[in-house]
Chain A
């Protein structure tokens, strides 16, 4: 179990640039989640995949945000035309469905985005 891996760990960019983050979930996990976390707050749900299907997306997510999971394995989160308010930690989590009860989510270490 290598855990959930996120790249890059840190990203610093100028306002208006596009950024893309990658998440590699635990290999047998079919569910993948993206969250955003700012200082002093809990993770805020952005979107969720079951295999390659994006099943839920937060209404808070503007059109500048898009996520994909093309083969049901790794996922990417892209932010276009970044704004100051996008500065946050972006967390990815994965879990395994089934087993008669809800499985816990395993989180990656996150990508910290800083907008200059």
Chain B
């Protein structure tokens, strides 16, 4: 079957660094996405990985290891506004269906 696992909740302090992990088992692989979703709002795109390695975009970085079925999202210099759910999503091969994880709720405290 297809499955995406990520921690349910995490708490971190303003100004710190936090790493949100994601492991996946899917039918084929055609890219991994990270989205941010604030409560009551639509998901917004953060990053995309299709090859192994690290993609950096400002305060956000995402890493992928296809052989391990593993990714992480790294958030640096945390701000209160980073409190949100972070969704890991994988697109399998042979189609355009995207499977989302349940999301990790991040709480940033002062």
A interface list, Cβ under 8 A from B? 4, 31, 33, 35, 40-45, 48, 50, 55-56, 58, 91, 101-102, 104-110
Contact = CB atoms under 8 A, between A and B. Distances in A.
A102 B31 contact: yes
Nearest to A110: B42
A48 B95 CA distance: 10
| Interface range, B side | 20 to 34
In the complex, the 5 A-B pairs of residues with the closest C-beta atoms, listed nearest first: A42-B100, A107-B42, A104-B45, A102-B31, A43-B100
Nearest to B89: A42
Contact of A33 (B31, B98, B102): B98
Interface of B: 4, 30-31, 33, 35, 41-45, 48, 50, 87, 89, 91, 95-103
Given A42-B87, A43-B87, A104 B48 contact: yes
A102 B41 CA distance: 24
Contacts, number: 59
For A4, A31, A44, A101, the residue with the greatest tally of chain B CB atoms inside 10 Å of its CB is A101
A107 B45 CA distance: 9
Contact of B95 (A41, A55, A104): A55
B88 to A, nearest CB: 8
Contact of A108 (B35, B42, B87, B97): B42
Given A45-B99, A102-B31, 7 more contacts: A40-B102, A41-B102, A42-B87, A45-B97, A45-B100, A101-B50, A102-B48
Contacts of A104: 33, 45, 48
B41 A48 contact: no
Given A40-B102, A42-B100, A55-B95, A91 B48 contact: no
